[in-house]
A and B are shown apart, each in its own frame.
Chain A
Amino acid sequence: MSIKKFVVGGFKEEGALFTAVKNVRKSGYKIHDVYTPMPIHGLDKAMGLRDTSLHTAGFIYGITGTTTALSCIGWIFTSDWPINFGGKPHFSLPAWIPITFELTVLFAAVGMVLTFCYLCQIAPFVKKHHFSLRATDDLFIMVIECTEKTNETDLMAFLENSGAIDINIQNAETGWWLGRYDKDTKPFENKGTVIA
C-alpha cells in the first residue's frame, strides 16, 4: 500500500460524532475511517458505507461446501468404493445429508472468518497502523484523508469546531505489513507526528 497523510480527531460523545460525520461529509472531506470502542448502530449509514458483501461470500462458500460433500460422498459410495450398508442402495441421499450439512456450515464459517480477517486486515504476524489507542477505550476516533488540495490547518480548525479533541496529523501506512506488535514496537508509544 502507500503512506498517506491523515488528520485525526477524537470525539467523546456519540451524538457529536454523528453530527461531525455529517458535516465533514457535507464539506467534501474524505473520511478514511471511524474507529470506535463499541459497535454503533447507524454509523455505517451516516458514513455512507455500502452494505457488506460478506454474506454473499458466505453463500458461495456454503454452496461450495454442499457441492464438495455431495460430489465427494457420491463418488466414493457409488463408484470408487461401494459398500453395502444394511441393504441400502449405494446412492442413498438421506444418509449423506448430515455430512453435507456439516461441510456446508464448515466451509461457510471458515471461509467467512478468513474473508472477514482479510477485509479488516487482521491476521497473525501482521501489523496495521493504529491512529489512536484510545479508540479501544473511551474515544471515537475519526480519521480524515488528506489530498494535495486539503488545507490541514483549515481542516483541524473545522474538527475543533465540531467538538473534537486530541487533533493531530499523522503520516501512516494504510495497509498491513508483516511484523509483530510485541517484538517490533512498544505498543503504547505514540508514533504519530503530533503537530497540534
Chain B
Amino acid sequence: MSLKQHFEIPGRYKTWSFALMAVGVISLIVGYIMYGGNPDNGKRFWSTMLHNSVYFLLIVNAAMFFFCATTLALGGFQISFRRVTEAVSASVIPIGIITFIILLCLVFGNKYAIYEWLNKDVVAHDPILNGKKGFLNPTFFIIWTTLTIGLWIVLGIKMRQISREIDDTPLTVEEGKKYIFKNTVWSSVYIFWFALTVASTVPWLWLMSINAHWFSTMYSWYTFASTFVAGIALMTLFVIYLKNQGYLEYTNEEHLHDLGKFQFAFSIFWTYLWFSQFMLIWYANISEETIYFKNRFEGAYTGIFYLNLVINFLAPLLIYMTRTSKRNYATVTFMSVALILGHWLDVYQMVFGSTFKDYVPLNLFDFGIAAGFVGLIMWQTARVLSKFPLIPINHPFLKESIIHHT
C-alpha cells in the first residue's frame, strides 16, 4: 500500500484561511477605531483581545500537552495521527507572539481597567493587593510571561524536530529504545514546564488577576481542563479533515473513538472542577469569594453561565455517551465544533464577567477576532503539515497504532 505522505493544501482551504485571517485583521482595525479610544481606556477592546488570544494560545498549546503526555506515558495509539497534533502545536509560535504583544500592551499601556494591580496608587492603599505585590507586579508578569511563551515555543520546536529526525532512517531495536528515551526526556521537560505554567501560575497571572482581590486555587486547573477539551476537539477536527481528504490511511474509527473518549472524559473533568469551584464558594457564602459569582450566577451573565453548562457538560455527556456516537465522524465533528465554541464562551465569561459588571454582549467584533485566530491556526497547521510526511513511518510504536483496537 502506498501512503499519501505529502499533504497538499487545497485551494479552497487556503482561500478560507486567508479570508478568515483578513476578517480578523479588519475586525482588529474596526474594533480599535470603535472601542480603542473609549473613555473607559479601551476596556472593551482589550478584553476581547485578551479573551481570544489567551484562549486560542492555550488550546493550541493543549495539543502540545497532548502529544507530550502520551509520549511520556509510552502511548502508542496516537502515532498514526501524531503529526497532526504536532502541526496544531506549531501554531503556538504565531499565536504565542501575538498574545505576548497583547499582554505587553496591557502592562506597558497601563490598562488599569483590565489589571487593577498595575496601578501603584491603588496597590499602596489596598492591603490585599499590597500583600500580593510580590506576585502581581509588572516586572514579574513580564519576565514570567516571556519565559512561559518562550519555553513553550522552544520546547515545541525541539519536540517536533526530534519527531522528524527519523523520517528517513529506519531504526534498529536498540536505536529505537534510545529514541523513545530521548523523546520521554524532552516530553518530561515540557510537562514540568506545563505544570508550572498552565496548570498553576499562568491562568492566575493572565486571567484570574483581573479580579485581583479574589482567588481560587482551582482556577488554573479549571482553565486547563477547559482549554484541553477544546484542544482535543481542535485536533480531532484536523484529523477528520485529513481523513476526508484521503490522508492518514492508518487512522480509523478506533482512533476516533479514543479522541471521542478524551473529549468525553475531560468534559466531565471540566464539570467536576466547574462545580467544585462553584459549590464551595456558594456553600461558604463569604462575600469576598461570592463576588466572583455575583454577576455570573445571578446577574448580567446568568444566561451565559447556564449555556456554558449545557454545551460543555450536558451535550457531551448525553451525545458522547454511546460507543456508536464516538465512532461516527458526523457526531464527533459536530461535538468538536460545539466544544470549541462552548469553551470559547467559557473563557469569554471568565474575562468579561470580571472586566465588566454589566452584561456586554458578544458582537461581530468578537467573532471577527476569533475568526482571525481560527484562520491563523488553519493556515499555520496546514503549512506545517504540508512540509513534512504525515505519518512518522519509522516510529517504533507505529505498529501499535495500526493494530490499535478499542
Chain A interface (Cβ < 8 Å from any Cβ of B): 41-42, 51, 55, 59, 86-88, 94-95, 97-98
Interface size class of B (residues with CB under 8 A): 10 to 19
Q: Whole-angstrom distance from the CB of A138 to the nearest CB of chain B?
A: 24
Is B278 within 8 A of A94, CB to CB?
yes
The interface bits of chain B over 266-302 (1 if a CB of A lies within 8 angstroms of the residue's CB, else 0) are 0000000001001100110100000000000000000
CA distance in complex: A143, B386 (Å):
53
The binding surface of chain B is classed by DSSP as helix
Is B283 within 8 A of A42, CB to CB?
no
CA distance in complex: A87, B283 (Å):
10
For chain B, residues 373 to 406, give those with C-beta under 8 angstroms from any C-beta of chain A.
405
Is A97 within 8 A of B321, CB to CB?
no
Residues of A within 8 A of B405 (CB): 41-42
Chain B interface (Cβ < 8 Å from any Cβ of A): 275, 278-279, 282-283, 285, 321-323, 405
Partner of A95, one of B279, B321, B323: B279
Residues of B within 8 A of A86 (CB): 285
19 contacts between A and B (CB under 8 A): A41-B405, A42-B405, A51-B323, A55-B322, A55-B323, A59-B321, A86-B285, A87-B285, A88-B285, A94-B275, A94-B278, A94-B279, A94-B282, A94-B283, A95-B279, A95-B283, A97-B275, A97-B279, A98-B279
Closest to B272 in A: A101
Having A55-B322, A94-B275, one finds 17 other A-B pairs with CB under 8 Å, namely: A41-B405, A42-B405, A51-B323, A55-B323, A59-B321, A86-B285, A87-B285, A88-B285, A94-B278, A94-B279, A94-B282, A94-B283, A95-B279, A95-B283, A97-B275, A97-B279, A98-B279
CA distance in complex: A87, B321 (Å):
38
Residues of B within 8 A of A87 (CB): 285
Q: Whole-angstrom distance from the CB of A33 to the nearest CB of chain B?
A: 21
CA distance in complex: A175, B282 (Å):
55
CA distance in complex: A87, B290 (Å):
15
Residues of B within 8 A of A41 (CB): 405
Q: Whole-angstrom distance from the CB of B291 to the nearest CB of chain A?
A: 18
Q: Whole-angstrom distance from the CB of B275 to the nearest CB of chain A?
A: 6
9 nearest A-B pairs in the assembled complex, by CB-CB distance: A41-B405, A94-B279, A94-B282, A97-B275, A42-B405, A59-B321, A95-B283, A86-B285, A97-B279
Closest to B281 in A: A94
Q: Whole-angstrom distance from the CB of B136 to the nearest CB of chain A?
A: 30
Residues of B within 8 A of A51 (CB): 323
Closest to B406 in A: A41
CA distance in complex: A97, B282 (Å):
13
Residues of A within 8 A of B279 (CB): 94-95, 97-98
